[in-house]
Chain A
Amino acid sequence: MAVLLALGGCQGGTTNLLGREPLYIYVEKVSGSSGNPANSDSLALLLIDGFRKLNPTVDIHINHYAADRIVPAMDFRQSRGLGPDLVVSPVITALRLHEQGLTEAVALNPVQLDRLAPRFRNDFRIGNRYMAIPLLAKPQVACFDRRRVSDPPATLTELLELSAKGLQVGLPLQLVDLLWTASSFEADDTLLQLVEHPPSKKTSTPVLVSAEDRRQLEDWLTWLAAANLQSNVSFAEDNSELVSQLERGDRDWISCNGNWLDPLNRKLGNNLGISVLPGAEGRPAQPITALRVWSFGRHSTGRQRALAEAFVLFSLNKVNQREMMLFSPGTLPVNPDVLVPTKSSHRLAALATSLENSHMMNFSDPEQTVAAARAIDFVLQRTVQGELTPAEATAMLLSNRPAAALAP
């Protein structure tokens, strides 16, 4: 028994009865897409085909899980030694998996690290190891129907002016998707602090909220409440609802993220317009960019781990990153050596600009961060529905801050 267990770290003996080398990958489905994730499958097949040309004995097996099922599924299989070698997921899931000890950090040498843009490295580094490795970036942009919007709004003021003239605007009602509107009022940093450092979290340095911060927050909430009073502006709790409305022609302009560009592109074709999200005068919108990242399973054999690392590095090479960028309309590469053709593509230009201006959320404590974001979503919901005035909502958002932390 001990010998068999010790073999786990060895390189040999990993082929199955037919002499194949299996590699198991779990993929988290894009939230809201209940159907078969055809595009992500095609993207995966693109990578797998390329990798198997170089490693013909490798069989890659992919399992898809919904966001709420992937962590329990990992826990269930890891407890049997049947966990995957690799997981592809959003950052929050990768952090949860790591926090629960379901994935393992890996070391990358400087040459391998060159395949990752510096801005994507630090959030995942633990000492000299990486608990997750970014695969693709999915920035947030504005999507619109070109038949109805010839010139997309550049500022929030323009957005409301256009809606007053009949433009049907759809906005999300979740903080992560709505933060770009707060950036025009400079309330985004305060909101990020509220999310990343909730009061229940024991930090050594309490977060200070100044009167200026409070005013900016209230201004933003006032704008949201006013926007909702416009007859042509509506909020939706689910991004997929906004996408459906744009597809049906019920909305002319919505804010969307990279996950939705492919279905929208298939539905609207050349009528789909993409631009950067509107900001304030002289201040671009600062949305949050979502990342898809790789994590490594814990029970891989030595050979499987080596194959998993090779596959991850293969997915990060210049050629594959470029292929994925061109194949999947909402994604941008994380490899800094890939040239994004912003001059020849409005779509890629909008995505690149959005990525350049975007925030990268710091999920040092994923569960508390999610809980804090949900609490803010609830306040936003009540504010938009008129249950809370902007002042009350501001007070509620800041109420749990320690009194000492509230600067005059």
Chain B
Amino acid sequence: MNSLFYEIIGWVGYLSRPVVLVQCLSAGALLALFQLVVRPRLRQGGRRLALVGTVGLLLALRLNAAVLEWLGQPAGLALYFMRVYAIWMFLAFLHEALVLRFPARGVDRLFNQLIRPLFVLLLAGSLVNQLDSLEDVADIPLLPVFGDTLTTGNLFLLLTIPYFLVAVSAYPVSWLARLLQGLLHFSDGTREATTLVLRYVLIGAGVLWLMHRVGLNTNAIAAIAGGLSVGIGFGIKEVFSNFISGLWLLFEGSVRPGEILFIDGDPCEVRSLGLRAAVLWRDRDNAELVIPNQDFFTTTTVTYTGTDRLRRSQVEVAAAYRHDPAQVIPLLEDVARHSPRVLSQPPPKALLLSYGDSGINYGLRYWIENPMNNGSIKSEVSVAVWERFAKEGIEMPFPQRVIHQG
């Protein structure tokens, strides 16, 4: 670790050179002037003026480098500062442009997860490269790990590669899964499952590669894995159980992203199946339910999307005794047939369910395409029944109680 600090202190030493100091101070002064004086005034003038200000700063930074060159002085650092600022501004404009065409949430996620971290990494790497040999800095020994020496480069890989494996792998894997879906014509749920499995494979392969690249002692890793297995047995068995359950469910196909499950009487859509838990979305109140994967293993799961996505729904209604069931039943079926979101096949079916206290109870059964729309379609059909009954003069009875006084 001391060697790294020694090297970093060495970089600061370059500031003792006037040719370096001039480049840093002049670029820094221009940037400070822009941020503190010019930018606040331009901000009031709208985006166009802000853009003009940004371009003006870029030109000023380039002019600064040109003046240094004209004086016969090194200007590479001044140009470097200008390029970094140019890339930063380009990313800002790219973000604005993408937001105009794509959903802001997705663009923000792309920038926060991938583009900005990448920019910071490249900036750090290029900054070190300005000052030092990247190869030499990467070879600086930090501390002993399992009998080997952990170098700066390996520590950097250990900190960054896992992040990018998790954050970045989603994009290519999702694209690959869509490609496979196009070729093999499997369902959206299978595509989601394929995406997740491919992602696990990619992350697993990446971690193995990283361990090999870093040169971690395999005997030491085996010893740690042995110790962990005891830990898993006692402390983290739930986590491990949930992870294995998640994988099992994916392969089994009963709980996949996109599936509709019945949870506590409500249809819920599976949004994601994670390492520990599944996230489900409940339409009724827009709630997200986080359910441990293990629960799906031990409890009965009701799904509407096992073999197909159709759901049979039912509206119950009563008609007064004076109306002939032979008139009411076709009427109800006709109402369902004319509801736009009710499927024509299988055909709607009305049934006489029972003779009630106040009237005859009917059930109108029909099929819908999306189980998540059940509530709203049920409402539509019920309203249509009310309107049709009113039009045809069919009375919907209400409970009547005849009291005889003795």
Residues of A in contact with B (beta carbons under 8 Å apart): 1, 4-8, 13-18, 20-22, 24, 36, 59, 61-65, 73, 76-82, 299-301, 304
Contacts and interface: CB of A to CB of B under 8 A. Distances in A.
B145 to A, nearest CB: 18
B130 A63 contact: no
The interface residues of chain A, by DSSP majority, are classed as mixed
B16 A14 contact: yes
Contact of B17 (A20, A62, A81): A81
Contacts of A79: 74-76
B18 A6 contact: yes
Most A CB within 10 A of own CB, among B9, B19, B133: B19
Interface in B183-208: none
Contacts of B132: 61, 63
B22 A16 contact: no
A80 B76 contact: yes
B230 interface: no
A80 B23 contact: yes
A59 B10 contact: yes
A36 B140 CA distance: 11
A300 B17 CA distance: 7
A4 B16 CA distance: 10
A81 B9 contact: no
Interface of B: 6-7, 9-10, 12-23, 25-26, 71, 73-77, 80, 130-133, 135-136, 139
A20 B18 CA distance: 17
Contacts of B135: 64
Contacts of A6: 18
Given A63-B136, A301-B18, A81 B23 contact: yes
Nearest to B67: A1
B74 A81 contact: yes
Contact of B14 (A15, A73, A82): A82
A314 B136 CA distance: 25
Contacts of B71: 5
Nearest to B131: A82
Contacts of A59: 6, 9-10, 13
A266 to B, nearest CB: 20
A16 B6 CA distance: 12
Nearest to A78: B74
Going nearest first, the 10 A-B pairs with the smallest beta carbon separation are: A22-B13, A80-B76, A81-B19, A79-B76, A81-B74, A16-B13, A61-B10, A63-B133, A4-B18, A14-B16
Contact of B12 (A17, A64, A77, A78): A17
Given A24-B10, A79-B74, A8 B17 contact: yes
Contacts of B133: 63-65, 73
A36 B136 CA distance: 10
A25 to B, nearest CB: 11
